[in-house]
């Protein structure tokens, strides 16, 4: 992603972040890894009965059909080749596949510089924590030295503007907002003009929450995309879809529809600390090939962290398997 980063984090800070991530994913670990361990410890032979039980455990952990099928196909191939003979080798194969699923190449426009600020649109359905996430994202980017401007384009909910203003004031970023009920595209145009004039690095656009089934509201997002592109070349450079991890496989349905309507380039998975359904991250990444950009692991302003596939998988397996 194209934005300024602070100097390399000290090892103790990274270790602390990993510990927080492991704690936040505790329920998902119990739902996914513990179930896998229960199957692998039930019998010694890696036979078809064990593999069927393993498949059921993966499906029950919200990985989804495609992700589960990919893992099981790989394990069966390796078993037939006699490359897998022990539970330890099965566990290592699952871990490798999970890591591969969520390692998605960056296809957004943020990897190249443009003649103006980067524009990130944040979209999602109601109740996913979208506005709070925008505030946390603004804080993170501002702390890393980015001149950040937030566009409060959720003009349908007055409380959203007030809520976002509080978050932005805490973050040290700037904010442009219109009156309640104003045209979101007009607010966006004003925000982008202000960003250019102020020399902002990044503009984060908070859009109104909308159901993915409401075609008129999805068309409004498309209008905002066009307005952004006319004002700043290549904008929006990111369209970030916020998904509540607790929705499980419903999150996959949402992602599918937003991808069609808005060209989603990345995901932000929220509320991972309060659900056992974090396995949906693998299902969405496998089916739609959309990279996860950030994850929410708590309610604090510092609890939105940049996603690392390696750390995510390692945190799930950290106490069960310390080495491949």
Annotate 245-293 with DSSP letters as a single string: GGGTHHHHHHHHHHHHHH---EEEEE-GGG-S-TTHHHHHHHHH---EE
Of the pLDDT bands very low, low, confident and very high (cuts 50, 70, 90), residue 322 is very low
Query: 200 pLDDT band (50/70/90 cuts)?
Result: very high
188 and 119 Cβ atoms separated by less than 8 Å: no
pLDDT in tens, 68-113: 999 999 999 999 999 999 999 999 999 999 999 999 987 665 544 4
Question: How far is it, in rounded angstroms, from Cα 135 to Cα 112?
Answer: 25
Least confident of 108-117, 141-150, 203-212: 108-117
User: What is the model's pLDDT at position 7?
Assistant: 44
Q: What DSSP string describes 62-106?
A: T--HHHHHHHHHHHHHHHHTT---SHHHHHHHHHHHHHHHT----
Higher pLDDT, 15 or 190: 190
Crossing angle, helix 280-288 and helix 65-80, to 10 degrees?
90
pLDDT recorded at residue 110: 53
pLDDT of residue 112: 47
Query: Is residue 201 predicted with pLDDT exceeding 90?
Result: yes
Between residues 121 and 109, the one the model is more confident about: 121
Residue-wise over 108-138: b if at least 16 C-beta within 10 A, else e?
A: bbbeeeeebbbbbbbbbbeebbbbbbbbbbb
Q: Domain spans of the chain?
A: 12-101, 109-308
pLDDT > 80? residue 2: no
The domain made up of 12-101 is a member of CATH 1.20.120.140: yes
Q: Among 94-103, 250-259, 301-310, which is the least confidently predicted range?
A: 250-259
Least confident of 46-60, 185-199, 310-324: 310-324
pLDDT band at 165 (very low <50, low <70, confident <90, very high): very high
Neighbour-count burial of 41, counting CB atoms closer than 10 A to its CB (0-12 exposed, 13-18 middle, 19+ buried): exposed
Mean confidence (pLDDT) of the chain? 87
Say what the pLDDT of residue 324 is: 41
Q: Pick left, alpha or beta for residue 263 (phi over 0 → left; psi -120 to 50 → alpha; otherwise beta).
A: left
Per mean pLDDT, which range of 104-118, 142-156, 291-305, 307-321 is the poorest?
A: 104-118
Query: Residue 263: which pLDDT band, with cuts at 50, 70 and 90?
Result: confident
Per-residue pLDDT, 311 = 94
Strand-pair partners of 120? 204, 238
Equal CATH topology for 12-101 and 109-308 = no
- The CATH class of 109-308 is alpha beta
Q: What pLDDT does 88 receive?
A: 93
């Amino acid at each position: 992603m194209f934005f300024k980063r602070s100097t390399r984090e000290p090892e103790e800070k990274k270790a602390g972040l990993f510990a927080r991530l492991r704690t936040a994913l505790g329920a998902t670990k119990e739902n996914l890894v513990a179930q896998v361990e229960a199957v692998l410890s039930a019998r010694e032979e890696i036979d078809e009965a064990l593999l069927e039980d393993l498949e059921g455990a993966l499906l029950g952990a919200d990985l989804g059909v495609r992700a589960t099928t990919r893992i099981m196909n790989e394990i069966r191939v390796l078993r037939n080749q006699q490359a897998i003979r022990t539970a330890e080798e099965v566990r290592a194969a699952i871990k490798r596949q999970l890591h591969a699923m969520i390692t998605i190449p960056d296809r957004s426009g943020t990897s190249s510089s443009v003649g103006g600020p980067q524009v990130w649109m944040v979209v999602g359905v109601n109740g996913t924590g979208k506005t709070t996430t925008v505030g946390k994202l603004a804080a993170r980017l501002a702390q890393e030295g980015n001149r950040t401007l937030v566009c409060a384009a959720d003009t349908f909910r007055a409380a959203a503007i007030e809520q976002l203003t509080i978050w932005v004031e805490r973050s040290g970023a700037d904010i442009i907002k219109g009156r309640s009920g104003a045209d979101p595209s007009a607010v966006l145009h004003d925000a982008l003009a202000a960003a250019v004039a102020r020399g902002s690095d990044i503009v984060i656009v908070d859009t109104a929450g909308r159901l993915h089934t409401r075609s008129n509201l999805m068309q409004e997002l498309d209008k905002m995309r066009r307005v952004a592109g006319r004002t700043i070349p290549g904008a929006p450079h990111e369209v970030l879809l916020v998904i509540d991890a607790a929705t499980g496989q419903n999150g996959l349905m949402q992602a599918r529809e937003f991808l069609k309507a808005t060209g989603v380039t990345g995901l932000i998975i929220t509320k991972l600390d309060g659900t056992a359904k974090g396995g949906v991250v693998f299902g969405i990444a496998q089916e739609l090939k959309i990279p996860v950009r950030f994850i929410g692991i708590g309610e604090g302003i510092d609890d939105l962290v940049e996603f690392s596939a390696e750390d995510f998988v390692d945190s799930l397996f950290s106490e069960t398997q310390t080495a491949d």
